[in-house]
Amino acid sequence: MKSAFLLSEDHHVIQSYLNHYGAHFKVQNRVGEQEYDILCRQINVEKTNYAFISKKDLERGLRDDLWIGLVLFVDDQKPTKYLFPSTVWNIPNQLFTDSAVKNPEYGINLNQHTMKEFVEKYGFEVMVNKI
């Protein structure tokens, strides 16, 4: 995910990022100069269709400047990158879940009902232009 931002002409990856508040790295939009925290997850569909972020890992909670980068591994295909704002969990649904079964967590649930919407709406190339 980080390499995709490194290759982006419109974004700069901030290398000396210490106060990450649960994110893995920070990017800056070169045009508007806004900064965004990026938290990464992955799903290997051969093993699972679910990824989660523990609520305790989000020190500052859901916010407009926190985005989630998800890499999806499907069989022998090239990994696919997706990007979405953390605020999608403000209104949980079948795709973006808010659960407290064992530990409070935000989930990404990909299945036959949610996959099409996720792929069409949150592809990295489409969403990177929104930050």
How much is the pLDDT for 92? 94
How much is the pLDDT for 97? 95
Rounded CA-CA distance 39/41 in Å is: 7
How much is the pLDDT for 13? 83
Other C-beta atoms closer than 10 Å to the C-beta of 74 total 12
Annotate the chain with DSSP letters as a single string: -HHHHHT-TTEEEES-----TT-SEEEEETTT--EEEEEEEEEETTT-SEEEEEGGG-TT-S-TTEEEEEEEE-TTSPPEEEEEEGGGGGS--SSEEEE-SSS-EEEEE-STTTHHHHHHH-BHHHHGGG-
pLDDT in tens, 55-111: 988 878 899 999 999 999 988 899 999 999 999 999 999 999 998 777 899 999 999
Q: Give the confidence band of 4 by pLDDT, cuts at 50, 70, 90.
A: confident
